[in-house]
Amino acid sequence: MGVAPDGPLLDVQGLSAGYGRRTVVSDISFHVGRGEIVAVFGHNGAGKTTTLRTVFGFQQARSGTVIFKGQDITNMPCAQKVARGITFVPAEQFVFPDMSVLDNLRLGGHGGGGRTMAERLAAVYETFPLLDERTAQLAGTMSGGQQRMLSIGIALMAEPELVLLDEPSLGLAPAMVQNVNNALRDLTDRYSVSIVLLEQNVRQTLQIADRAYVMRSGRIILEESAEQMLQRGQWWDLF
């Protein structure tokens, strides 16, 4: 049974998933509102990535439901979820290194979105001006932070309503992390794109997030507003 159209954009209830006989995620529930950035924190192995992979469809759910815009999409193929407005940006191998920036973006724009390719490119360049300056550059020759911007740009070319981001700060210098985070907040504020952001960088992420969940051993142990979590000042006891 789906949620009402005016309910959460994404509503995950009782989700469990794993690999082989091993259960990694157990009976977790969370939601994402329209135009909201939701951070998910947890140590390595807490089940964060498995959760996103299951929501997106890379991984089959063992139980529970994934409701998007009021419709049950639990074990729907990834391509259908992209067509409905969800994109996923993995932590690694997120660009095509032997292709130019422009070709990477065009590839992301095939088969999705209601606007023309040129209109979608213009919107991405508005968010990430650096990509407009480097359209002919091979993606593999860019820095890690620049590749991360490109990966998000690729995802945006499908004109998603929900972007699932797995550790965008991984391997980036603090200044570049701030640049990426500022761009994410701008996306949400300007286009009402909703974002689920998996991170271990708690303080910087809370500066742009609306709400946060903490995962431990495959379960969600805490939900708070970003403001509430920032007031804690330290978070070692949650991990």
**DSSP per residue, 122-150:** HHHHHH-HHHHHTTTSBGGGS-HHHHHHH
Which residue type is seen at 195? I
Averaged pLDDT for residues 88-107: 91
Average model confidence (pLDDT) across the chain? 91
- Burial state string for 198-209 with b = 16 or more CB within 10 A and e = fewer than 16: bbebbeebbebb
Whole-number pLDDT of residue 4: 40
C-alpha distances in angstroms, 232 versus 15, 80, 202? 28, 40, 11
Q: Contact, 13 vs 64, CB < 8 A?
A: yes
C-alpha distances in angstroms, 238 versus 213, 217, 223, 233? 11, 11, 11, 12
Compute the distance between CA of residue 191 and CA of residue 35 in angstroms, rounded to an integer: 8
Torsion region of 49: left, alpha or beta (phi above 0 gives left; psi -120 to 50 gives alpha):
alpha
Compute the distance between CA of residue 188 and CA of residue 177 in angstroms, rounded to an integer: 17
C-alpha distances in angstroms, 166 versus 99, 109, 179? 22, 20, 17
Query: The pTM is what?
Result: 0.90
Whole-number pLDDT of residue 238: 81
Q: What is the pLDDT of residues 3-36, one digit of tens each?
A: 344 689 999 999 999 999 999 999 999 999 999 9
DSSP classification of residue 100: B
Domains of the chain: 10-238 (3.40.50.300)
Q: What is the pLDDT of residues 175-219, one digit of tens each?
A: 888 888 998 998 899 889 999 999 988 999 999 999 999 999 999
C-alpha distances in angstroms, 208 versus 110, 138, 185? 30, 30, 6
Compute the distance between CA of residue 101 and CA of residue 131 in angstroms, rounded to an integer: 7
C-alpha distances in angstroms, 192 versus 153, 163, 197, 215? 16, 11, 15, 26
CA–CA–CA angle 41, 230, 166 (5° rounding): 25
Averaged pLDDT for residues 221-236: 91
Task: Write phi, then psi, for 193 (nearest 5 degrees).
Answer: -75, 130
Q: Decide if pLDDT at 91 tops 80.
A: yes
Q: How confident is the model at residue 113 (pLDDT cuts 50, 70, 90)?
A: low
Percent of the chain past pLDDT 70, that is, above it, reads 96
Compute the distance between CA of residue 189 and CA of residue 72 in angstroms, rounded to an integer: 27
Q: How confident is the model at residue 236 (pLDDT cuts 50, 70, 90)?
A: confident
